[in-house]
Amino acid sequence: MAVAPDAASRAMAAYALALFHDNNSREAEAIPNYVRALDDGLPGDLVAPARAWLASSRFKTGDPAGALAEIRRSRAAGPDAALARFLGALESRIAGRR
C-alpha cells in the first residue's frame, strides 16, 4: 500500500476515500475518513462540502447532534448557494426526527 508523502496529499486521499464510502452507502466507514481529511488540512474550497457530507453521514448513522454541529461548521466555512440549500434541507430532516 502506498503512503501519501505529505499532509495535503493524505487529506485529499482521505477525502476521496470518504466520498467513495459515502457514495456506496457506507457512511460509517466514510466518517473517520472525512475527519482525517479535515484534520490533515483539506484545501479551503473543500472544507464546506466535506463538513456537509460529514453532517449527512453523521445523521444517517444516528448522530443528529454531531450532524447539527457539522452543519454549523460547514456554514461557517462559507458554502455556496447549492450547498446552503442542501444544509437547510438536512437540518429540516434532523428537526423532523426530534
Q: Using one digit for the tens of pLDDT, what is the confidence trace for 20-77?
A: 999 999 999 999 999 999 999 999 999 999 999 999 999 999 999 999 999 999 999 9
Q: What percent of the chain has pLDDT over 90?
A: 89
What amino acid occupies position 78?
G
Tell whether the model's pLDDT for residue 1 goes beyond 60.
no
Structural contact between residues 13 and 1, judged by C-beta atoms closer than 8 angstroms: no
**DSSP H/E element including 95:** helix 81-96
* Residue in the structure block whose three cell numbers are 453523521: 58
The model's pTM is: 0.92
Please give the pLDDT value at position 30. 98
Question: With bands split at pLDDT 50, 70 and 90, how would you rate the model's confidence at 97?
Answer: confident
Domain boundaries, the chain: 7-96
Tell whether the model's pLDDT for residue 4 goes beyond 80.
no
CATH class for the region spanning 7-96: mainly alpha
